[in-house]
């Protein structure tokens, strides 16, 4: 492959993470391993997007909950579910929720690579606008509800005083939220923040 595509392994068993990481690194992928869904979700906004290998049965958060939280946070990365014997029904539920495939443990290298390549192709095949929208939504999901409301007002062309009136807060409070949201989004100018808002559809009316 022309570049090292990223694979995120989420599995609570250290031996499984280790063996999968070695297998995939030998196959030419970049790999990040996570001991559970919570640790992955905490850092997802700051790491390179890629294919997620997601174990179904984990003690803190099961795979379906991790997958659901990813969707809620706008993390639109391809997911391949890993399942043990007898978990097929759950794995099918994961696919209905958007997973690309499910694989039963133990995994053959050829089967794993085939599933990952299919998942990555689906990701790469997404048009640029959808990719930008997914990444923008992911970053905006890091904001508080109030910060998102302020950003929505800005995206709809409202000055601070109008946003303040709509949200029943002071213009100074709007300025504080505006500064905070720009810092969280990692942008320096309002135009950069607005580009993210437009990509994520934040200028659309609330239903």
- Per-residue pLDDT of 109-167, as tens digits, reads 999 999 999 888 877 766 566 777 888 888 999 999 999 999 999 998 889 999 999 99
> Percent of the chain having pLDDT more than 70?
92
Of how many residues is the chain composed?
207
- What angle, 0 to 180 degrees and rounded to 10, lies between the N-to-C axes of helices 109-124 and 14-26? 70
| Residue 173 CA: distances (Å) to CA of 153, 154, 157, 186, 189 | 14, 14, 18, 20, 19
Q: Is residue 48 scored above 70 in pLDDT?
A: yes
- Please, how many CA atoms are within 13 Å of residue 158, restricted to the half-sphere of its CB? 20
What pLDDT is stored for residue 127 in this prediction? 56
Tell me the average pLDDT across 44-68: 91
Cβ burial 98-131 (10 Å sphere, 16+ → b, else e): ebbbbbeeebeeeebbebbeebbeebeeeeeeee
pLDDT band per the 50, 70, 90 thresholds, residue 4: confident
List the chain domain ranges.
6-125, 131-199
At residue 91, the pLDDT reads 75
- For the residues 41-57, what does the mean pLDDT come to? 91
**Other CB atoms within 10 A of residue 27 CB:** 16
The average pLDDT across 97-101 equals 85
Residue 68: per-residue pLDDT = 93
Prediction pTM value:
0.65
pLDDT attached to residue 207: 47
**In CATH, which superfamily holds the domain spanning 6-125?**
Response regulator (3.40.50.2300)
pLDDT for residue 204 is more than 80: no
Instruction: Note whether 11 and 82 are within 8 A (CB).
Output: yes
Q: What percent of the chain has pLDDT over 90?
A: 53
Read off the pLDDT of residues 58-84 as tens digits, 9 standing for 90 and up: 988 999 999 999 988 888 899 999 987
188 DSSP assignment: S
Contacts of 198 (CB under 8 A, 6+ apart): 155
Pick the CATH number of 131-199 from 1.10.357.10, 3.40.190.290, 2.60.40.10, 1.10.10.10: 1.10.10.10
């Amino acid at each position: 492959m022309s570049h090292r595509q990223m694979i995120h392994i989420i599995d609570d068993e250290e031996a499984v993470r280790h063996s999968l990481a070695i297998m995939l690194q030998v196959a030419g992928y970049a790999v990040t391993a996570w001991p559970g869904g919570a640790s992955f979700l905490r850092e997802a906004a700051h790491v390179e997007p890629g294919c997620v290998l997601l174990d179904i049965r984990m003690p803190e958060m099961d795979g379906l909950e991790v997958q659901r939280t990813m969707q809620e946070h706008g993390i639109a990365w391809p997911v391949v579910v890993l399942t043990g014997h007898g978990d097929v029904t759950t794995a099918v539920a994961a696919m209905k929720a958007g997973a690309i495939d499910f694989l039963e443990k133990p995994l053959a290298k050829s089967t794993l690579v085939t599933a990952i390549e299919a998942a990555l192709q689906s990701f790469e095949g997404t048009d640029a606008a959808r990719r930008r929208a997914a990444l923008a939504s992911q970053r905006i999901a890091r904001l508080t509800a109030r910060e998102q409301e302020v950003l929505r007002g800005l995206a709809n062309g409202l000055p601070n005083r109008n946003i303040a009136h709509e949200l029943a807060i002071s213009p100074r409070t709007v300025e504080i939220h505006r500064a905070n949201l720009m810092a969280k989004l990692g942008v320096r100018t309002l135009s950069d923040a607005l580009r993210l808002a437009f990509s994520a559809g934040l200028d659309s009316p609330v239903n």
